[in-house]
């Protein structure tokens, strides 16, 4: 749609555009926090009560930890994934539906600036929700953070990846029903089958191998390693897969913006 290269004389204008889009996306979810931040906090609290306090003692230890300690990282990661994704897909599709995305598209704003601005809102909401759920989990159990750098980096990379996923879905979506298809039929099943509530070591051989095809499994396990120092997946493998998916998603998003897919009438 436009040449994404930024001439030096436009650097300041590009920075202003980026800051404006990022602030708009951030202010959007903070302004309606009763709809964006409170519901996931309540939902995850119910997970801790039902699975942690009621069912957990009957299940017993998992990978050398109490069951509630085991599920805390996975539940936090669920909130990060869902909120990062939904923030971008709903915002970008809303901009398309209300046709004010055209104001940005006809401006000299580079494609990568548009992309990064929208991603800032998704990553911010995902990480903030994850922090809220982490604080809530402390009311149920004291989970140690063995590797803080890994915990933070995996949370950031995961929020970034699913913000990109939301952006791509927002580009292709033609009606409001389209933005619910991926979360309902793809994201939710992969999340629940991603080792949030169980270790894949419990699965029979065939099912364990099939689970390895689920990318969310690597994110959950890498995040759990940051907390507990335990993972079903080599941490280097998890990082590699997350980064590869991010690179592919960034390239694809910029390609779609450049071609005007789903944006040109």
Given a cut of 50, whether residue 50 has pLDDT beyond it is yes
Evaluate whether 242 touches 218 at the Cβ level (below 8 Å): yes
Q: Which residues contact 174 (CB under 8 A, 6 or more apart)?
A: 262
pLDDT value at position 79?
Answer: 95
pLDDT value at position 10?
Answer: 67
User: What's the pTM?
Assistant: 0.91
Q: Containing H/E element for 56?
A: helix 56-59
Mean pLDDT of the chain: 89
Measuring CA to CA, which residue among 152, 155, 164 is closest to residue 122? 164
Given a cut of 70, whether residue 3 has pLDDT beyond it is no
Band of pLDDT at residue 8, cut at 50, 70 and 90 = low
Given a cut of 90, whether residue 177 has pLDDT beyond it is no
Rounded to an integer, the average pLDDT of 188-194 is 88
pLDDT value at position 5?
Answer: 47
Q: 64-73, 122-131, 191-200, 207-216 — which one is most confidently predicted on average?
A: 122-131
How much of the chain, in percent, has pLDDT values that exceed 90? 60
Q: Quote the CA–CA distance of 189 and 21 in Å, as a whole number.
A: 32
How much of the chain, in percent, has pLDDT values that exceed 70? 95
Given a cut of 70, whether residue 2 has pLDDT beyond it is no
Q: Quote the CA–CA distance of 208 and 199 in Å, as a whole number.
A: 10
Given a cut of 70, whether residue 1 has pLDDT beyond it is no
Rounded to whole angstroms, what are the CA distances from 214 to 102, 134, 190, 200?
Answer: 36, 24, 7, 11
Evaluate whether 261 touches 242 at the Cβ level (below 8 Å): no
Measuring CA to CA, which residue among 217, 132, 114, 121 is closest to residue 163? 121
Q: Quote the CA–CA distance of 99 and 36 in Å, as a whole number.
A: 23
Describe the crossing of helices 215-228 and 148-172 by its angle, rounded to 10 degrees. 150
pLDDT in tens, 67-125: 999 999 999 999 999 999 999 999 999 888 888 888 888 888 899 999 999 999 999 99
pLDDT value at position 12?
Answer: 84
Given a cut of 70, whether residue 154 has pLDDT beyond it is yes
Query: Which structure tokens are listed for 67?
Result: 């069951």
- CA distance between the termini of the chain: 13
Greatest pairwise CA separation for the chain in angstroms: 65
pLDDT value at position 6?
Answer: 46
pLDDT in tens, 218-260: 999 999 999 999 888 999 999 999 999 999 999 999 999 998 8
Instruction: Give SS3 for 19.
Output: helix
Cα 161 to chain centroid, rounded: 6
pLDDT value at position 202?
Answer: 85
Q: Quote the CA–CA distance of 246 and 111 in Å, as a whole number.
A: 17
Given a cut of 80, whether residue 152 has pLDDT beyond it is yes
Rounded to an integer, the average pLDDT of 168-174 is 92
């Amino acid at each position: 749609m436009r040449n994404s290269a930024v001439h030096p004389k436009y650097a300041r204008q590009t920075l202003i555009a980026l800051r404006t889009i990022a602030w708009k996306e951030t202010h959007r979810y903070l302004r309606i926090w009763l709809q964006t931040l409170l519901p996931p906090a309540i939902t995850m609290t119910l997970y801790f009560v039902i699975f942690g306090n009621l069912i957990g003692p009957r299940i017993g230890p998992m990978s050398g930890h109490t069951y509630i300690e085991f599920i805390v990282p996975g539940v936090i990661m669920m909130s990060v994934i869902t909120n990062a994704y939904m923030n971008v897909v709903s915002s970008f599709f809303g901009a398309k539906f209300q046709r004010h995305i055209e104001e940005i598209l006809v401006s000299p704003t580079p494609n990568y600036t548009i992309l990064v601005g929208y991603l800032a809102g998704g990553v911010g909401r995902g990480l903030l929700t994850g922090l809220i759920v982490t604080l809530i989990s402390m009311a149920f159990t004291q989970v140690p953070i063995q590797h803080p750098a890994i915990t933070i980096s995996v949370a950031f990379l995961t929020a970034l990846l699913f913000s990109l996923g939301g952006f791509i879905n927002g580009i292709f979506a033609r009606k409001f029903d389209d933005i619910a298809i991926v979360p309902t039929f793809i994201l939710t099943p992969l999340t629940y089958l991603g080792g949030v509530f169980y270790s894949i070591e419990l699965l029979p051989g065939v099912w364990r191998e099939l689970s390895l095809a689920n990318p969310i499994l690597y994110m959950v396990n890498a995040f759990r390693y940051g907390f507990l120092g335990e993972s079903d997946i080599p941490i280097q493998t998890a990082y590699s897969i997350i980064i590869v998916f991010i690179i592919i998603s960034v390239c694809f998003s910029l390609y779609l913006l450049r071609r005007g897919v789903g944006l040109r009438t």
